[in-house]
Chain A
Amino acid sequence: MKNFIEIQHADMVFSTRKGRFHALQDINLTVAKGEFVTLIGHSGCGKSTLLNLLAGLTTPTAGTLLCDNREIAAPGPERAVVFQNHSLLPWLTCIENVQLAVDRVFGANETKAQVIERAKAALALVGMDHALNKRPHEISGGMKQRVGIARALAMEPKVLLLDEPFGALDALTRAHLQDELLKIVARTQSTAVMVTHDVDEAVLLSDRIVMMTNGPAATIGQILTVDLERPRNRVELAEDGRYVHCRKEVLDFLYTRHGRIDRQAA
């Protein structure tokens, strides 16, 4: 499965009140099965827009997106999304939130008990089995994001789409969840596309880092292959020459070659 996800000449133009806004221009990208790809770029470069296209939440103005040789026309449970702000439903408990997803995918063929078992298993996978019956406002931000990941994983998606999943968390919690995600992805062999603005996160997690130029009409500026064997350990990698090199490469792209225009002016 070389080209599990294929993006061909994708263009995205938004018509806003101020006129047309050309967000993405001529995006071409392929993702192999089991690959972990991150999209990185300055805010407003359209990386979330690209992820929404993959999710099917928005449709491209031009170009095609394929997932497993089928065109992405609408959102679906085979492309699970972990949202930036977790988006758990506040009136449902953790397990009910996950169950809602499981029920949709497996509810037709499995008994209620099996569905609940799946939801529990997914929560156990992210280490949240102690808070099955808590509501989102009773748990911390990191825990909410874990439940969000559990909800996505429980659907056994073909692709996991993560939209800055750890952006709102403090550094320690973020590091912890990154390690968890590494383990989960290794265990489930998931294909994943993640949006981030954190260079360390990108290098630590990815097989390839897709660096995007600044908008408007953003496109892919460079793709960096991260040649680090797994499992990866953040402490050991900190002094690894290849890690440092990758990190430098991304920083160089983001700040030297494609620094934000407003920052250059300042």
Chain B
Amino acid sequence: MVSAVFHSPAQASMDAKSGAKPIGAVPAGPKPVAPVKAAKPAYDWHALGMKIFPPLIGIALLIGVWALLTLKSTTFPTPGATFTEAVKVFSDPFYSKGPNDQGIGWNILFSLQRVAVGFGLAALIGIPMGFMIGRFEVLSRMVSPLISLLRPVSPLAWLPIGLLVFKAANPAAIWTIFICSIWPMIINTAVGVQRVPADYLNVARVLNLSEWKVFTKILFPAVLPYMLTGVRLSVSTAWLVIVAAEMLTGGVGIGFWVWDEWNNLNVQHILIAIFVIGVVGLLLEQLLVSVAKRFTYDEV
């Protein structure tokens, strides 16, 4: 059972990942940006067409293949049946009938909350740690073998430790998120600090700036783009991992919902959940990309 449990989450998260792209394109396809862009150079219909049609064709193909494959199937739901079910699910996303039966909105919010807490704690510890490791070579040499050893470990392997220490499911899930999101932030921040151009640090030395000024005026702005890359990687991983962690810990959350619907043999709901996980992951990623864009500067 345990191995089956372990297998399914990985499968599910992989499906979610690969499913995210074409599904995510649904809001992206006819996004309002496209017509605005076309309005400026009024003649460039080709580029506009290339932007809209291929993603639409991709989605249509996916749904087409799905419809064909489920034509004679009795166990796997058809696209049409899934869609009607989705309308039902989303018409009342915030109902609450006891701890094991809550609307999809609640499930998403609970998952996001766990990710936010685990990720926030990881940022709080990981980013300062990255700065220290990048700034002091002794620390870097001390910690880097440990990081190399622990980083490839699946975050789910840490879940039992969390359960043991916290004796509760929710903190254990948060702990798992914490572990998986801390590495990219430590590593990217440390690399960013190590890659601060020597010229900038020479400027600091010639100007004889105080440590605080060096940090606020030179180190922090120079490292920020690297740091944000770490943050982005962390959030993506955290969102991948939360689904699996919740399958194991239960409670309210999108991962648990998937597992619960599997126990109810409600495959339509599982498919809806996969779409939803993909869309939320995509939105998280887009949000952080836009934040990162604001804080990148042109290297001169």
Q: Which positions in A face B, CB cutoff 8 Å?
A: 55-57, 74-77, 79-81, 83, 85-92, 100-101, 104, 135-137, 144, 155
Known contacts A89-B217, A90-B297: A83-B207 contact under CB 8 Å: no
Asked whether any CB of chain A lies closer than 8 Å to the CB of B298, the reply is yes
Q: Are B206 and A77 in contact, CB atoms less than 8 angstroms apart?
A: yes
A95 to chain B, nearest CB (A): 14
Q: Are B206 and A80 in contact, CB atoms less than 8 angstroms apart?
A: yes
Q: Which residues of A contact B217 (CB under 8 A)?
A: 89, 92, 100
Q: Are B202 and A57 in contact, CB atoms less than 8 angstroms apart?
A: yes
Asked whether any CB of chain A lies closer than 8 Å to the CB of B63, the reply is no
**CA–CA, A85 to B208, complex, Å?**
19
- Cβ-defined partner of B297 (8 Å) among A57, A75, A86, A91: A91
**CA–CA, A135 to B298, complex, Å?**
10
Asked whether any CB of chain A lies closer than 8 Å to the CB of B211, the reply is no
Q: Are B221 and A100 in contact, CB atoms less than 8 angstroms apart?
A: no
- Cβ-defined partner of B207 (8 Å) among A56, A86, A104, A135: A104
**CA–CA, A57 to B200, complex, Å?**
13
Q: Are B203 and A89 in contact, CB atoms less than 8 angstroms apart?
A: yes
Task: Name the 4 nearest CB pairs between A and B, nearest first.
Answer: A137-B298, A87-B199, A91-B221, A75-B205
- Cβ-defined partner of A87 (8 Å) among B203, B208, B222: B203
Asked whether any CB of chain A lies closer than 8 Å to the CB of B56, the reply is no
Q: Which positions in B face A, CB cutoff 8 Å?
A: 197, 199-200, 202-203, 205-209, 213, 217-218, 221-222, 297-300
Q: Are B202 and A81 in contact, CB atoms less than 8 angstroms apart?
A: yes
Known contacts A89-B218, A100-B217, A137-B297: A57-B206 contact under CB 8 Å: yes
Main secondary structure of the interface of B (DSSP, over half): helix
- Cβ-defined partner of A77 (8 Å) among B208, B213, B218, B298: B208
**CA–CA, A89 to B200, complex, Å?**
7
- Cβ-defined partner of B205 (8 Å) among A57, A100, A136, A144: A57
**CA–CA, A136 to B298, complex, Å?**
9
Q: Are B221 and A77 in contact, CB atoms less than 8 angstroms apart?
A: no
**CA–CA, A56 to B205, complex, Å?**
9
User: What are 28 A-to-B residue pairs whose CB atoms are below 8 Å?
Assistant: A55-B206, A74-B205, A75-B206, A76-B208, A77-B207, A81-B202, A81-B206, A83-B199, A83-B203, A87-B200, A88-B300, A89-B200, A89-B217, A89-B218, A90-B297, A90-B299, A91-B221, A91-B222, A100-B209, A100-B213, A100-B217, A101-B207, A104-B208, A104-B209, A136-B300, A137-B297, A137-B298, A144-B300
Q: Which residues of B contact A87 (CB under 8 A)?
A: 197, 199-200, 202-203
Q: Which residues of B contact A85 (CB under 8 A)?
A: 199
Q: Are A100 and B299 in contact, CB atoms less than 8 angstroms apart?
A: no
Q: Which residues of B contact A135 (CB under 8 A)?
A: 297
Q: Which residues of B contact A83 (CB under 8 A)?
A: 199, 202-203
**CA–CA, A76 to B200, complex, Å?**
15
Q: Which residues of B contact A76 (CB under 8 A)?
A: 206, 208
Q: Which residues of A contact B205 (CB under 8 A)?
A: 56-57, 74-75
Closest to A137 in B: B298
Q: Which residues of A contact B297 (CB under 8 A)?
A: 90-91, 135, 137
**CA–CA, A89 to B209, complex, Å?**
14
**CA–CA, A135 to B217, complex, Å?**
14
Q: Which of A83, A87, A88 gathers most chain B CB within 10 Å?
A: A87
B208 to chain A, nearest CB (A): 6
Closest to A148 in B: B203
Q: Which of A56, A77, A90 gathers most chain B CB within 10 Å?
A: A90
Q: Which residues of A contact B206 (CB under 8 A)?
A: 55, 57, 75-77, 79-81
Closest to B299 in A: A90
**CA–CA, A189 to B299, complex, Å?**
34
Known contacts A57-B202, A81-B202: A89-B207 contact under CB 8 Å: no
Q: Which residues of A contact B203 (CB under 8 A)?
A: 83, 87, 89
B112 to chain A, nearest CB (A): 32
Q: Are B300 and A137 in contact, CB atoms less than 8 angstroms apart?
A: yes
Q: Which residues of B contact A137 (CB under 8 A)?
A: 297-298, 300
